[in-house]
Every structure is written in C-alpha cells, then in structure tokens.
C-alpha cells in the first residue's frame, strides 16, 4: 500500500519517533512516516491521509498480550465493547507474537490499512488488511489520538516540538 504517493512507504520521511517505557522497561520504539513528512489531523480523524506507523519491539510480547493491550486502550479511549470485540476478532486473525528486535508496521491510505511483520530472519510479510475505516482509525488512535494514554509519545510521533 502506497496511498497517494508513488514512493513505497519505507521511503517516506519520518514525521517523528518515540520510545515507550514502563517503569524501567523499554517496551518498543516507534516511528511515524507520511509521504510529505508531515502529520495532519482533521478533527477526530487521526488518519485523514496516508501514513505508516512502524513499531520495533524491545522485548518479547505474545499476540495475546498485544490484543489485551489493544482492548484496554480502546476502552480507555471510550470505544464501545461490542464494537471493539468485533475489531479484536479481525485483529486476532493477523496479530503475531513478537520477539525483541522484530517489527510490525501498520500502513494506512487514510481509509484502510495493512499490517506487516518484519521477523528477525526472513522476509517481511503482509499479515492482513483492514478494510473498515472505523477500525483503521481506532487502531491508529491508540498512538495518534489527542486522548491517547501517552500524550508525550503521541506528540513525539506527530512531530510536535515540546
């Protein structure tokens, strides 16, 4: 998925980057990329244009833990449980367990998205596609919503200066 850019998303400029740490543990480092190197939120739409969120995991995390944390973040953001349960079913089909150093990338054209896995050894692979605009936005809201749990991380990702 390249969105509206002729360049592959891996060649898009980095908007911002951040590392999530909890207590004394680093959990992951992340980068946000867009075709022009800028992030533009339009009202409540966190993905009004093409973007790529890439996460490099700094510890082993099971797919079950990733899905549980996704659900917890959606609850915190106020999504209804019936809706988030349906979305989790979709994500469960594609969400892998990750090992330290492996990466996941979610690439969106602003309406839909694709989840990629970059193992430590072997080729990257497409894990699945998200065709639902609401799920696309809800997933990205975990990191990009103004109401995200980690506002400092969000601000770093979207390139806001402190």
- 10 within a domain of the structure (yes/no): no
| Number of structural domains in the chain | 1
- 14 within a domain of the structure (yes/no): no
Q: What is the mean pLDDT of the chain?
A: 93
- 149 within a domain of the structure (yes/no): yes
Looking at residue 46, its pLDDT comes to: 83
Phi-psi label, residue 77: left if phi above 0, alpha if psi -120 to 50, beta otherwise: alpha
In the chain the beta strands, taken as DSSP E runs, fall at: 14-22, 25-33, 51-57, 103-108, 113-118, 125-130
- 139 within a domain of the structure (yes/no): yes
Residue 132, Cβ density class (10 Å: 0-12 exposed, 13-18 middle, ≥19 buried)? middle
Looking at residue 88, its pLDDT comes to: 97
Residue 145 has pLDDT above 80, yes or no: yes
- 121 within a domain of the structure (yes/no): yes
Looking at residue 5, its pLDDT comes to: 58
| pLDDT, tens digit, 9 for 90 and up, residues 79-114 | 999 999 999 999 999 999 999 999 999 999 999 999
- 101 within a domain of the structure (yes/no): yes
- Enter the DSSP assignment of 111: S
- Enter the DSSP assignment of 22: E
Domain range enclosing 75:
31-158
Looking at residue 39, its pLDDT comes to: 94
pLDDT bracket for residue 78 (50, 70, 90): very high
Q: Tally helices (H) and strands (E) across the chain.
A: 4, 6
pLDDT bracket for residue 1 (50, 70, 90): low
Residue 75 has pLDDT above 60, yes or no: yes
- 115 within a domain of the structure (yes/no): yes
Looking at residue 148, its pLDDT comes to: 94
- Enter the pTM of the model: 0.92
What count of other Cβ atoms lies within 10 Å of the Cβ of residue 86?
13
pLDDT bracket for residue 47 (50, 70, 90): confident
From the list 62, 128, 120, the residue with the least C-alpha distance to 91 is 128
| pLDDT, tens digit, 9 for 90 and up, residues 3-29 | 455 789 999 999 999 999 988 899 999
CB 157 within 8 A of CB 143: yes
92: domain CATH number?
3.50.70.10
Sort strands 125-130 and 14-22 into parallel, antiparallel or unpaired: unpaired
- 1 within a domain of the structure (yes/no): no
Looking at residue 21, its pLDDT comes to: 92
Looking at residue 3, its pLDDT comes to: 47
Q: How many residues does the chain have?
A: 162
């Amino acid at each position: 998925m390249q969105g509206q850019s002729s360049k592959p998303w891996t060649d898009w400029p980095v908007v911002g980057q951040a590392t999530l740490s909890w207590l004394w543990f680093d959990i992951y480092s992340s980068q946000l990329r867009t075709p022009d190197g800028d992030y533009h939120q339009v009202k409540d739409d966190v993905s009004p244009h093409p973007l790529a969120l890439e996460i490099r995991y700094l510890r082993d995390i099971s797919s079950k833990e990733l899905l549980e944390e996704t659900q917890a973040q959606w609850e915190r953001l106020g999504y209804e449980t019936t809706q988030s349960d349906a979305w989790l079913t979709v994500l469960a089909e594609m969400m892998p367990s990750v090992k330290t150093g492996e990466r996941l990338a979610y690439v969106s054209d602003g309406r839909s998205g694709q989840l990629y896995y970059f193992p430590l050894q072997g080729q990257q692979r497409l894990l699945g596609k998200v065709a639902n605009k609401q799920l696309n936005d809800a997933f990205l809201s975990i990191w990009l919503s103004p109401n995200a749990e980690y506002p400092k991380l969000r601000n770093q990702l979207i390139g806001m200066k402190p």
